[in-house]
Structure 1
Amino acid sequence: MTVAVRPVTDDQWPIVAWLWQDFRHDLAPVVNGFPYADGRYRHEWLDEYPAPDRCGYLAWAPHPNTGEDAPVGFALVRGLDAEERAMQAFFVVPAARRGGLGRRFALDVIGRHPGPWAIPFQHDNLAAVSFWRAVATDVSGSAWTETTEPVPGKPDVPPDHWIRTP
C-alpha cells in the first residue's frame, strides 16, 4: 500500500480528532478505558496540539473503494524544542496494518526530526512491543534502550515501557 506522510494542516485537526477516537477505542482494552458522558474517549493530549513544540502528521493512502486519499493514521510528536523528541501518540487504522505501512510511517516521522527519541507504550500492548522494538532497531541498530517507568498517578497499573534512541 502506498502511503503519503504530510504534516497536519490547521484545517485537518478535526480529521485527527476523529482518528483519535479510533486510537483510544483501540487502546481501551489495554488501559481499561471507557468513553466519558459525551461519548468521547479522553482527549486532553490531543487538545495540546498544535503548539510551537508539538506537531502532527497524517498518513494518507488510496481508499480501496474510491481511490481518493484517505487518512489511515496519525502521529503526534512533542519536544520539538527539546533535546529529545517523543512520540506522544501513534495510530494506524486496523485495515491498513500488517503490510508495513505503520513501520514506514513511523520511520518517516522519526526521520523528519533527527536526534534522540523517546517512544512510550503500555505494558500490555503486545503489538506495540514488537512494533516499536523493530522501529528502534531500524533507526539506531542495537543502540536503543528500553526501560519501564511507573504511570504517573496510577500506582495500580503496570509501568509503561519507554524506548529511547541515541
Structure 2
Amino acid sequence: MENILKHLNNEIYSLYSCALVNRRWCKMSVPILWQDPFSVERSSLFIPIYFSSLGEGEKLVIMECLKEFGINIEFSKPLFDYARFLKILDIFRLENKVYEWMDLNKLNRLNLNDFDSRTTPLITLPFKLFLESGAILHEFGLYNSEFLEFELEIFHSFEQNVQFTQDSNIYLWL
C-alpha cells in the first residue's frame, strides 16, 4: 500500500482522500503529503501548523510578529510531527508561502514593501523547527536573500545537524 501511495506523490487531492479512509491510510498518506509542502501548486493554509509545532517561547515570538501586521492567531496541537516529513525545502518558496498566508489573513492587502526584518522570525523559526525535527532533506534551495542574518543562521545550523542535508541536492541562487 505504501508503494502505491508513493506513486501518488503529485496527486495531492488523491492523497488527501486516502488520508481520510482510516487511521492506517492516514499514517501512510500524511508523510507523503508533507514531503514538499512549499511547492508552487499548494495552498499556504498549512503555515500555522508549522507555527503550532514550535516551542512555547517561539510561539510567543510568532504571535508578536504577526500582531504587528494585524494578524491574531491561536495555536492548536498538531496531530503529527509534520516538520519531520519534509524532504524538499527551498527558502525562497518558504518565504513566499509565509507571505502568501499572511496576505490571506489580513483584511487589507499587504504590500511587499511591508516585509522587512520584522518578518525574519516567521522564516527562521520554522527553519529551526525543520532542523530540530530530524527531517532529512533530498533537495535544499538557498538564494541570495535580503535576510543576511537568516543565511548566516542557516550555515551555522548545518554545522550542528549534518544529517539534515547529508544526501541532498543543494541549489544556490546568487
State the TM-score, normalized to the length of structure 1: 0.34
Q: More strand by proportion, 1 or 2?
A: 1
Q: Relative contact order, CA 8 A, sep 6+: which one is greater?
A: 2
Q: More helix by proportion, 1 or 2?
A: 2
State the TM-score, normalized to the length of structure 2: 0.33
Rg bigger for which structure?
Answer: 2
